[in-house]
Structure 1
Amino acid sequence: MYEVYDVGETYADIREGSKAPGGAIWAKEHYDWSAPDTVTWTVSESNFCAPGSYVTALIKPGTGGGSRIHITWNRTPTSTAGRIAALLILATRGAPVASSLRKGLKRLETSTN
C-alpha cells in the first residue's frame, strides 16, 4: 500500500507499508534524488522505525551493461514488529530488502517495455 503526498523535481513524500504478521507496518518517507546516482528515503513518521532512519541506494553503471545498486539500510526499530523486521533483515544479510528492490525494478522494467 502507498499514498503519494507531494512530488517535486528531486523529491517525493510518500506513505508506504505492507501487511505483516500481527498487523500492518508503515512509514511516511521523504525520497530525495537530488544527488547524482543516489536516492535516499528518510522516515518522517512510522509505526515501526524512528524518524530520521533512512535507506540509500547508490546506482552505478554495471559491467557489461545494466546497473549496479548498493543499498545502505539504516533503520532504528521502535516497535516489536520493527525489531523483528530488523532482526530478519540482519540475519538474512538484507534478503527481504533485496527481494523488494528486485520486484520493484522488475515492475518498472515491465512497464517501460
Structure 2
Amino acid sequence: MATIHFTERTNATPEQFVACLTDFGPGRRQLFGNSADEYLQVHAKDADHADVTEGSGGVWERLHYDWSDPHRVVMTTVDSNIWGGRSGHTYTFTPLPDGTTQLDAVIIREGKNLKGRVTGLLLGSVGKGLLEKALRNTIKAIEARNRPFRE
C-alpha cells in the first residue's frame, strides 16, 4: 500500500478548489488529467456528496465524494479495476493570512490485484514525481479558471 502526501500553496480559495473538485461536467480532464470524459459517470449527487466513476488509460475507480466540511474533500474508493482496501484521496484546505491557501493532499493506493499492487508500488516510489506534477498542473488549471477576467 502506498500513502503519498503533498503540501502545496495555491491562490485559489478553498471554495474555488472544492467547486472544481466537485464539477463533474464535460471537460473535467482539463483540470484533472486522470479523469477522461469517456470514463466519467455520475451515479448520484446532492449538495455535499457524490458517487462518481472516473479514470483514464484503462484504470477506473468509483469514488464516494464527501465535501460536507468546506475545508476538506474526502474521496473514498468504493470500486475499481485495480484499487481496493483503503484507497482514496483526501484534500484539506487551510486559508493563510496572505490570502493564499495551503493544500494538503493525501493519496492512498492499495492494490486489489497484481496490476494494482505493482502500480501502487511504482506510484509510492518513482511515480511520486508524476503525481506531484499532476497536482501542480491541476492547481495551475484551477487558478487559471478562477482568475478574474481583465481587459
C-alpha displacement of 1:101: 2.4
Change (3 A) 1:10 1:26: same
C-alpha displacement of 1:47: 0.4
Q: Which runs of 5+ in 2 are unaligned?
A: 1-35
TM-score (normalizing by structure 1): 0.79
Question: Pick from 54, 62, 78: which aligns with 1:28?
Answer: 62
Question: Percent same amino acid at aligned positions?
Answer: 28
Q: How does 1:20-99 map to 2 (within 5 A)?
A: 24-50=58-84, 52-62=86-96, 64-92=98-126, 94-99=128-133
Change (3 A) 1:104 1:3: farther
Equivalenced residues, count:
109
- The secondary structure found in structure 2 opposite 1:110 is helix
> Which protein, 1 or 2, shows the higher relative CO under an 8 Å CA cutoff with sep ≥ 6?
2
1:5 correspondence with 2:43: yes
Q: Which runs of 5+ in 1 are unaligned?
A: none
1:100 correspondence with 2:138: no
C-alpha displacement of 1:92: 4.0
1:17 correspondence with 2:55: yes
Deviation beyond 4 Å, 4+ runs, structure 1: none
RMSD (Å), alpha carbons: 2.1
Q: Does structure 1 retain, via aligned residues, the 8 Å contact 2:85–2:112?
A: no
Identify which range, 30-39 or 86-95, moves more after superposition.
86-95
Identify which range, 8-17 or 87-96, moves more after superposition.
87-96
**Greater share of strand:** 1
| Distance in 2 (alpha carbons) for counterparts of 1:43 and 1:88 | 19
| Distance in 1 (alpha carbons) for counterparts of 2:128 and 2:44 | 29
| Distance in 2 (alpha carbons) for counterparts of 1:14 and 1:102 | 23
